[in-house]
Structure 1
Amino acid sequence: MLSRTADHLFWMARYTERAENTARMLDVNTETGLLPQSRQAAVRGWRAILDISELQELFDKKYDGVTPKDVLDFMVKDMSNPSSIASCLKQARENARAVRGTLTTEVWETSNATWLGLQAKLRAGELERDPGQFFEWVKHRSHLSRGVTSGTMLKDEAFYFIRIGTFLERADNTARILDVKFHGAGDDQALAHEQQIDFYYWAALLRSVSAFEIYRKVYRDVITPARVAELLILNQNMPRSLLACMTELVANLKQISTETSRDTERFAGKLSAELQFGRIEDILDAGLDDYLTDFLETVGALGERISRDFLVPLAA
């Protein structure tokens, strides 16, 4: 397969997954923003989303301060933000259009209809009227895209590049969603120890990654941060966990293996093995924020290696 074609497929999948995960992250903060809390705590929560998404500098150039409305507009509608939901779904559609001959009609039509539907919803003011319902729509369209891809495409190189893009992006974003709680908290842990607030926060986070019912099945007990972290990092049977994502990524990399990609496969395999044999106690002792920051750096390096071996090289 031509590297240009593989690049379009890979990024089509990544942008679709990124739009979904941005919706999930914003959904958590929108829901927890309804809880009783100080203004400083609320601002810290929204700023943490910008920080962990590496968008704080770009946001500050456009806005004087952090408000929920401004962050939602910036993260959902702003086309100057390359990671906004609108930007991601447009880029997913453009990448799909570039390789229409490689995709099935159903996959292309799903991507195209999602982009057109998003524009209609934004014009109708559905984000402002009911943010939760809007985010559910974004998640549903991503689910539909993956389902149509799995159900209609030949299991060849094109399919594997789509899957690699999906799971690489999902691993990155699951780590970011989990890290929003701790990122930038520093020594001020007052909010983290307010048990009632914590319960609703972690419950909202679990629901945002479709893991609330799964948590109840696995632990059958009260929600605690350590167990949430264990489920989303180390549980291979949890579809959005870091381990599940890396297991799928390694399996799909093997399907497109070449002589030049052996080192990248070893790199991915090592990260997967560390997750497979990791213990949540060790992760928490080392510091969850530090662990997730290191993981994000490693996943970023893995993405660069995949681009180097198979795709159009990333701009320096």
Structure 2
Amino acid sequence: MLGRTANGIFWMFRYLERSENMARLLEAGLRMALTRDIVSSEDEWRSVIAAAGQRQAFEAQHATYTGVQAWNFILRDKANPMSILSMFELVRTNARLARNAISGELWEAINDNWMQISDLLAKPVGQSDVAEAVTVIKRAGTLAHGAMVGSMLRDHAYHFARAGTMVERADAIVRILDIKYYLLLPALSYVGSSLDTSQWDQVLRSVSGDRAYRSLNAGQIDARGIVEFLVLDDRFPRSLAFCHSALREELAALARLHGGEGQANRMMREADIRLSNQSIEDIFDKGLHEFLLDFSATNAAIGQAISNDYRFLA
């Protein structure tokens, strides 16, 4: 497979995962805002923008954090190159460039959803329509992944698609955990309070992990238990452990197809050893923020190594 085709597929699924994760963050913000006035609950919307990594860009455009400003900035603002509308346009562009390497069903799913999303976000989104927009974007990701799994050969294209998904998903989980740890909680005195519990519940909801966590923990919301679930529980498909386990399998499959391992495989093994040797006590003793910084740097380096190994820019 040509490097530029592999690059297109890898980034098509990174952008797809990113747009879906942004929609999940937005949904969590909507849920948090429901406890107050959905339009004026600025603390909640500030945390959503920060978790999306868009605080500087947002504040360059807006002096306040109202719901209408926040969700339109994330969904469709032309001044935001990381908006969901921009991300999904990149999904479709990369799909078109790699069309000969993906299935017809996957192309149709992406193209049809692009047309629906672009129509939906053609004008500013009001309070009555934002929930529908989030639902459509999440469904678009589900349909595209379903088409990929159900119709594509398990060849280079499939494994690059899965690898891109897992690199991006791990990055999103790190961002969500770190933003809760540092930005959502206003003071140490709130630890264990109803506010703290509510915020951790929204973290779980933003990754669609609330039902799974509660089924394993008798409905109890506990910060340490949630971090362990989202970092170390490889049964949950959005945990860091699951993402890196799946990424390791995709890189091993690519190495077999190419007849040899690259730097990404070696880095993946080292990352696996480090994570498998960690307990939740080790993580909190070291510091959750420091652990997340290390994991994020390693995850980004593996993503870059994949690009280098398979000559994405050649």
5 Å-filtered alignment, 1:47-62, equals 47-62=46-61
Unaligned runs of 5+ in 2: none
Q: What's the offset of the Cα at 1:14? A: 0.5
Unaligned runs of 5+ in 1: none
In 2, distance between residues paired with 1:92 and 1:79?
17
Q: What amino acid maps onto 2:270 in structure 1? A: K
In 2, distance between residues paired with 1:44 and 1:271?
35
Equivalenced residues, count: 311
Q: What amino acid maps onto 2:276 in structure 1? A: Q
Q: What's the offset of the Cα at 1:183? A: 2.9
Alpha-carbon spacing, 1:45–1:187, altered in 2? closer, same or farther (3 Å): closer
Q: What amino acid maps onto 1:236 in structure 2? A: D
In 2, distance between residues paired with 1:225 and 1:133?
31
Q: What's the offset of the Cα at 1:20? A: 0.4
CA offsets per residue over residues 248-303 of structure 1, 9 Å max, x none? 00110011125885322121222223222321122122222232222222211221
Partner of 1:278: 278
CA offsets per residue over residues 220-249 of structure 1, 9 Å max, x none? 141111111111110000011000000000
Q: What's the offset of the Cα at 1:95? A: 0.3
Q: Percent identity?
A: 32
Partner of 1:4: 4
Work out which of the residue numbers 218, 231, 242 in structure 1 matches 2:229.
Answer: 231
In 2, distance between residues paired with 1:240 and 1:302?
18
CA offsets per residue over residues 175-229 of structure 1, 9 Å max, x none? 1122221234698334x42622233322232222221221122121411111111
Alpha-carbon spacing, 1:5–1:70, altered in 2? closer, same or farther (3 Å): same
5 Å-filtered alignment, 1:188-207, equals 188-190=187-189, 192-193=190-191, 195-207=193-205
5 Å-filtered alignment, 1:11-26, equals 11-26=11-26
Partner of 2:251: 253
Alpha-carbon spacing, 1:172–1:125, altered in 2? closer, same or farther (3 Å): same
Quote the RMSD (CA, aligned, Å): 2.5
Partner of 1:85: 84
CA offsets per residue over residues 9-30 of structure 1, 9 Å max, x none? 0011011000000111121122
Q: What amino acid maps onto 1:141 in structure 2? A: A
**TM-score calculated relative to the size of structure 1:** 0.89
Task: Give the stretch that moved more between structures: 28-37 or 222-231.
Answer: 28-37
In 1, distance between residues paired with 2:66 and 2:304?
34
Query: Is the Cα contact below 8 Å between 1:35 and 1:197 reproduced in 2?
Result: no
In 1, distance between residues paired with 2:205 and 2:136?
15
In 1, distance between residues paired with 2:65 and 2:272?
37
In 2, distance between residues paired with 1:294 and 1:183?
16
Task: Give the stretch that moved more between structures: 103-112 or 256-265.
Answer: 256-265
In 1, distance between residues paired with 2:269 and 2:47?
31
In 2, distance between residues paired with 1:305 and 1:259?
17
Query: Is the Cα contact below 8 Å between 1:12 and 1:162 reproduced in 2?
Result: yes
In 2, distance between residues paired with 1:311 and 1:142?
27
Q: What's the offset of the Cα at 1:156? A: 0.3
> Structure 1 residue 173 and structure 2 residue 178: aligned?
no
Q: What's the offset of the Cα at 1:73? A: 1.4
Query: Is the Cα contact below 8 Å between 1:242 and 1:275 reproduced in 2?
Result: no
Alpha-carbon spacing, 1:290–1:66, altered in 2? closer, same or farther (3 Å): farther
Alpha-carbon spacing, 1:32–1:311, altered in 2? closer, same or farther (3 Å): farther
5 Å-filtered alignment, 1:110-189, equals 110-123=109-122, 128-184=127-183, 188-189=187-188
Alpha-carbon spacing, 1:52–1:291, altered in 2? closer, same or farther (3 Å): farther
Q: What's the offset of the Cα at 1:124? A: 7.0
In 2, distance between residues paired with 1:244 and 1:298?
15
Q: What's the offset of the Cα at 1:36? A: 5.1
